[in-house]
Amino acid sequence: MSYPLLTLIIIEIVLMVGIPVALAWRLSRRWGEPWRLLLAGAATFVGSQVVHLPLNAGLTALFQFNILPPPPEAIQLPFNAVVLGLTAGICEEVARYLTYRFWQKEARTWKKGVMLGVGHGGIEAILLGGMVLLTLINMSILVNVDSTSFGNEVAEQVTAFWNTPLYHPLLAIAERIMAITLHIALSTLVLQTFTRNKLWPLWAAIGWHALVDATAVYVMGTWGILATEGIMVLLTLGSVGILWHNYKIMTEENQKLRIESSEAKI
């Protein structure tokens, strides 16, 4: 067992849970927005995965059993990247749209969109933190068990886990921060489907989500984790730009509505 790695993984778990909780608490207190928006965002993510995970599993089975023709090996990685990006984008952004359309009908401001995004990205980080914790517990137990009792494959997994580079937990923390930023940006983008009464923001959200996920899958399979996180930093800057643009647009729209309402009363 590597105690430096153990320490970093514990820090990773604490921050994967603590960062979204702290962000949610801070924004709710500062803006006075209710926690139910955060819970709605969390429920939206969970609901999207009820469709997303079986969809990916079903597509995998269709290709494995040649029900659908598998892509040529030369383009398998980019093909998988595009498919995985699209399924994630479609499932999660349509789920966001449905939440705004049928559940959180009063959520029509930028701040409310941010709160929903924090709930969406935050519960994903918390669930992943829980999975890391379970893996850590299992590996901590197995490392002290005679490897002959569970076979070579499991023994190799245990060895590989405790030989993980020390920077991996730090990259995982950074990845969650970037993912939460993405979800906040996409949440405010889908919201404009209703504030502008146009459908194109939903398609734009699906496209950006698909692009980010597909890029991550392709770069990871081609150049590895360090290159992937570097590219994700650049894409996160794009998400920040989207979030800032949405803030300016929605603030201007709200000010215009207040002026028109005041003039109507006069």
Residue 149 has what pLDDT? 65
**Per-residue model confidence as pLDDT tens digits over 72-90:** 999 999 999 999 999 999 9
**Per-residue model confidence as pLDDT tens digits over 165-208:** 999 999 999 999 999 999 999 999 999 999 989 999 999 999 99
Coil, helix or strand at residue 105: coil
**Per-residue model confidence as pLDDT tens digits over 138-171:** 999 888 776 666 667 888 888 889 999 999 999 9
For residue 261, is pLDDT > 60? no
DSSP secondary structure code for residue 66 in this structure: T
Q: Which residues of 149-185 are buried (b: 16+ CB within 10 A; e: fewer)?
A: eeeeeebeebeebeeeeeeebebbbbbbbbbbbbbbb
For helices 167-195 and 110-142, what crossing angle results, to 10°? Answer: 150
Residue 147 has what pLDDT? 64
Helix (H), strand (E) at residue 231 = helix 225-265
- CB hemisphere CA count around 102 (13 angstroms): 6
CA dist 165 → 46, 68, 123 (Å): 31, 38, 26
Among 102-111, 149-158, 239-248, 254-263, the minimum mean pLDDT is found in: 254-263
With CA atoms as reference, report the closest residue to 247 among 189, 208, 183. 189
Coil, helix or strand at residue 197: coil
Residue 147 identity (one-letter amino acid)? S
Domain ranges of the chain: 30-121+166-265
DSSP secondary structure code for residue 74 in this structure: G
What does pTM read for this prediction? 0.91
For residue 266, is pLDDT > 60? no
Residue 250 has what pLDDT? 84
The span from the first CA to the last CA of the chain, in angstroms, equals 74
Residue 50 has what pLDDT? 96
Residue 249 has what pLDDT? 86
Question: In which band, very low, low, confident or very high, does the pLDDT at 2 lie, cut at 50, 70 and 90?
Answer: confident
For helices 152-162 and 110-142, what crossing angle results, to 10°? Answer: 120
For residue 260, is pLDDT > 70? no
DSSP secondary structure code for residue 100 in this structure: I
Q: Which two tokens stand for residue 185?
A: 């940006």
Cβ atoms within 10 A of the Cβ of 134, count?
10
Residue 254 has what pLDDT? 63
Q: Are 16 and 129 in contact (CB under 8 A)?
A: yes
Residue 251 has what pLDDT? 81
Among 2-11, 50-59, 91-100, 142-151, the minimum mean pLDDT is found in: 142-151
The pLDDT of 207-216, averaged and rounded, is 97
* In the block, residue with structure tokens 């850590």: 136
Residue 148 has what pLDDT? 63
Helix (H), strand (E) at residue 8 = helix 3-31
